[in-house]
Chain A
Amino acid sequence: MRWPCGPLDAARAQAVGSARAVYDAWLKPESLAILEHTPVNAIVITWAAGAADDAAQQRALQPLITAARARGIDVIGRISTGTPPPGLNGILCDKPGQAPAGTPVVLARAADALTTTEDAAIVLLTDCLWPRIPVESRGGTGDAAERRAANAAAGPTGAPWVDANGWRLSLARAKAPAAVCWSGAEPPEDAPPPRWEAYALAVADAAIAGGRWLIRLDAGLRAALAARQPSALELWKSFASALRRIEQLRQAGERIEARLGVLSHFTGEGAYMAGETLNLAARRHLPVRPLVRDRLAPDALRDLKAVLWADQRDSDGTLPPVLHEFIARGGLAIVPPALASRFQAKDKIPGGAFEDRYDLYRVTAGRVALARKPWMDPFLLITDAHLMLGRKHDVIRLWNAGSMNVQYTRAGSSGRVQLVNFAARGFGHPVSLWVAQPYRAAALHTLDAAGPRSLEPLPKSGGVEVYLPSFPLYGSIEFGA
């Protein structure tokens, strides 16, 4: 949890008077009391900013650090410059070389700037958005549904747009598989103060991608908690309860269940197209596996039916060996026009509805869809990729889930579908879910119930459908054989 306190943070925030007092209050050891009975096990304090106040900050922090340790809470120091002191449990920085050998590092990075060679115990993604449904003010001229939706921004998918970070965390996990990934989303200071559901949404948004949110409270809540205001304490209690529940439901050793992979360096010029492809796939409820070109695990393409090679400008004109093998096993590779010279007209096969945008080639046992023009529109790209893959390979389908994001993971014969409802309240319309496995049992875990609720899996189209009762914010459906 980010723990702004002390003279350095106060000075950076230009806090004076009562605002300054809030920073002093959070410096007191007793402020840690709110962490009791929560899963929060570390705080991130500002240690050194290369400012004149650094020394004062570090002196002031000592009682808090001591108290945190006594409570079993790790303290991570944020440093911008200088050498980290012994005694902290780790440091947060944007240059891994700043840490003495053996010091755990939280590396602050944007998802597209993260490289596969950097070594960090934890990666903090600095480009995460505050998860929410953005609201725009615009008129609606059509039917009732259109008018109702008029205040929510809609993306090219037609579904409400959501600011979500799951794809960034999935990508970071693919780039740094050994690291724990944190979302660095910050509550907007210029919007109405978030309710507890908004904070819990930030936790759930990260959790479905196997990540965690570095908790950051907005200034108003920090002040209210420092003043022990009952409403603030109640908000914190509700949030902590949700946090506890989501942590209880966290599972390790799961693998993203997908049939489409997106292959890219996910850095540099091609990062936007590749990243946005992941983002828009999530809005289609199309599970995809990010495949980082220089960090591909041997079995990274297992179970995939199609791979989209999203880098189009830096292609050296050859197919990576892993893609060769994938095609030879019968897979479909969707590749940029830079590879056109690799394919011969004699191998061309009918391309169905995509003939205007792709040429399809038979290559060994598999197929290659060669784009005729460089990709410009990530929405069109992921739509085409989904259709070329074919919905017969869908592993999951959802109905009435426009403002939800989903993650489907499997471990052995069991599966888990996590849903995050960005509307952060009960469903507007009942949601139905289909998974392409003939599971015999299903149980729903939610934030508003202590235990699981049994669901009836209904056989349909080779898999099962379950009808979900309304739940707020987050649900995890565990399927068993």
Chain B
Amino acid sequence: MDSTLKACNHAGARQPRIEVSARAGAAGSSSQIAWTRRAWIKTAAGAAAIGAAPLRAVPSAPVAVARCRAYARTELLPVMERMFDQLGGLGRLVAGKTVAMKINLTGSPRVRLAHEPAELAQWTHPAVIGTAVELLGRAGARRIRLLESAWNTAEPLEEYMMEANWSPQDLLNAASRVEMENTNWLGAGRKYSRFAPPKNGYMYPAYDLNHSYEDCDVFVSIAKMKDHATAGITLSMKNLFGIAPATIYGDGAGADEPSVLPRGGRGMFHSGHRQPARSSPGEHPDSPRDPGARVPRIVADLAAARPIHLAIIDGVETMAGGEGPWVAGCRHLTPGLLVAGTNAVNTDAVAAALMGYDPMADRGVAPFERCDSTLRLGQEHGIGTRDLRHIEVVGERNWRELVYPFRRKS
């Protein structure tokens, strides 16, 4: 993927420090390990079972944590401005670049957690998106593109947002040259762009995505801090589950070619009950059937194939117990937190810790009781470390005091 490499190379993010995980006995690029996929999965699973990760070098970059109690611009703008400064400033990353920003608008806009608007529960808040856009614009971004695969539709994102009572004009006017594209289908592209994860991927050797994920210099994942019914947590990496177009990976995807319009959710990702359109690479024949193994692997694959240069996590107001109101027993929370970083695994690890979880936990331990850890799988893909001992947290000296447990104490 030339374009992916280009994106990596062109991004002006602070150079990641390469560290050796404390659990790893030796450093080694995963691409240098000539394992078969079956061996890899077995080894990874086995390593998890005995509490040891495979041997590898994993990058680390600072993660900014901030308290932010409200979405008012007066509060949000200085906090986010400070966080980005703490990461080394946005200018180095985005000046003169096309920035693609994957926002999180999961599920139907017509679904709410009780009366809570989507942005106070399952969706990234428009104020956070708008502030990020404004600051990216100020930092010299040439073009800013807001992306999401709107559920079950090819309609423009602007219309989708209005259905949730958002004003997309506020986002389009937050900086110059702001655009939106619904990436759940071919959209404005002529063809889908192919992204290959390292080591031939955990689940698929490559993923075909909307052109927008290729036609950018810098990729931002702006996510919500949430639990997830299948993957334990949904943060900046899990946000990328939604970059896969339903025309290829949806329940109504075409058999041979992508369908014209997206229909349904990504049931095949969860259960493997069918293959994507044959024009795209199918999943590995020995891949697991358990959704708790599949979904985290696909997330790690996508996050490795389409690297995230800036991860922003909205934990000001959110929900616990699941990723959307359709999950039984979920509830509204007000952690009052924002997290940002240039390494997705590092950022998600800190965010998970702020949610009251141990980022080193794996299957069987909260929040991964019934699934594998996306953090571990991302680390094993070489994205970054999940080990807090090797992540520099900036902004809040006593950031561990900000921990907001997402699980109720029984």
A interface residue numbers (CB < 8 A to B): 141-146, 158-159, 352-353, 383, 387, 390-392, 394, 397-402, 429-430, 432, 434, 460-461, 465, 467
Contacts and interface: CB of A to CB of B under 8 A. Distances in A.
Contact of A430 (B115, B155, B159): B115
Interface string B303-339: 0000000000000000000000111100000000000
Interface in B141-156: 152-156
B200 interface: no
B273 interface: yes
A398 B165 CA distance: 10
B271 interface: yes
A390 B159 CA distance: 7
Given A429-B114, A467-B115, A391 B163 contact: yes
Interface of B: 108, 110-112, 114-115, 117, 152-156, 159, 162-163, 165-167, 229-230, 251, 265, 267, 270-271, 273, 325-328
Contact of A353 (B111, B114, B155, B229): B155
Contacts, number: 71
Contacts of B271: 141-142
Nearest to B329: A144
Contact of B165 (A400, A460, A467): A460
A353 B154 contact: yes
18 contacts: A141-B273, A142-B251, A142-B265, A143-B326, A144-B326, A145-B327, A146-B265, A353-B155, A353-B156, A387-B156, A390-B159, A397-B163, A402-B110, A429-B111, A430-B115, A432-B112, A434-B165, A460-B165
B140 to A, nearest CB: 29
Contacts of A461: 165-167
Contacts of A353: 154-156
Contacts of B111: 399-400, 429
Contacts of B265: 142-143, 146
B112 A400 contact: yes
The DSSP consensus for interface residues of chain A is mixed
* 7 nearest A-B pairs in the assembled complex, by CB-CB distance: A145-B326, A391-B162, A467-B115, A399-B112, A430-B114, A142-B267, A432-B115
B230 A143 contact: yes
A401 B152 CA distance: 18
Nearest to A398: B110
For A145, A146, A392, A465, which residue has the most chain B Cβ atoms within 10 angstroms?
A: A145
A353 B181 CA distance: 10
Contact of B229 (A144, A158, A391, A401): A144
A144 B328 contact: yes
**Most A C-beta atoms less than 10 A away, residue of B153, B326, B328:** B326
Nearest to B160: A391
B271 to A, nearest CB: 6
Nearest to A394: B162
A82 to B, nearest CB: 53
